Amino acid sequence: MQTDLRAVLFDVFGTVVDWRSGIAAAAAPFLARYGATGADPFAFADRWRGHYGPSMEEVRSGRRPFVRLDVLHRETLLSVLPTFGIDPVAVPEVELDDLTFAWHRLDPWADAVEGLTRLKRRFVIAPLSNGNIALLLNMAKRAGLPWDAILGAEAVRAYKPTKQAYLRTAELLALAPGQICMVAAHNSDLAAARACGLRTAFVPRPTEHGADQTTDLRPEQDWDVVANDLLLLADVLAP
């Protein structure tokens, strides 16, 4: 597996950072301030994240030109607020922006910074995320994620899991797909990467969706590597 492996690319939301806790923590005071005092901020995070796939599908399908994820997050926030009894028009723009940018301020899982740091010694490491460049940069600066480069959907103007997202990223790195390993907590991301010829590493995050998570608890294919966190992944790839 290590033979000629040059770059290790990472899904970010769920794989490197804990988006659900971060969004819930940012939403809690916001919900209280706008009268949704009984609302569960984790339910709010889940609902907002629920719009993620459908909003990107508009772009993937070609029905909409590429727009960065910040734009989609801002739009879907407006859709979610009424579900929690909040009229978006009553919220100042600056507050809507600030909550949107909570996606820039997510905390990494406890193993992430050290695992990435160890992998960086041997490989090019970069996000291959649907997050936009400013989002990933701000997140990295705040959390200390030591990326070598910021790649992903915006750099190639294509959202995962389209083939273009993986293949154009390989092209930017001037690497063959087989010289790249995709790391994700999501079987579907790895299946798409494998279909493009990338190597695959599954790192389960069994509480990404909370204690009752039912999806992505186990590998669904014989991924090249399965490791329970990024430290163990570094043990395998960069011993």
Contact footprint for a copy of itself (CB under 8 A): 68, 70, 124, 132-134, 137, 140-141, 147-150, 154-155, 172-175
Shorter beta-carbon distance to a copy of itself: residue 55 or 100: 100
Q: Are 164 and 146 in contact (CB under 8 A)?
A: no
Nearer to a copy of itself, 73 or 205 (CB): 73
Minimum separation from the CB atom of position 24 to a copy of itself (A): 25
Q: Which is nearer to a copy of itself, 122 or 163 (CB)?
A: 122
Q: Report the residue number, 21 or 138, with the smaller CB distance to a copy of itself.
A: 138
Strand partners, 201: 183, 225
Q: How far is the CB of 194 from a copy of itself (least distance, A)?
A: 23
51, amino acid identity = H
Residue 128: which H helix or E strand, with range?
Answer: strand 124-129
Backbone angles phi, psi at 77, to 5 degrees: -60, -40
Helices and strands counted in the chain (H then E): 11, 6
CB 120 to a copy of itself: min, Å: 9
Q: Which residues pair with 181 in a beta bridge?
A: 8, 199
Closest distance between a copy of itself and the C-beta of residue 134, in Å?
4
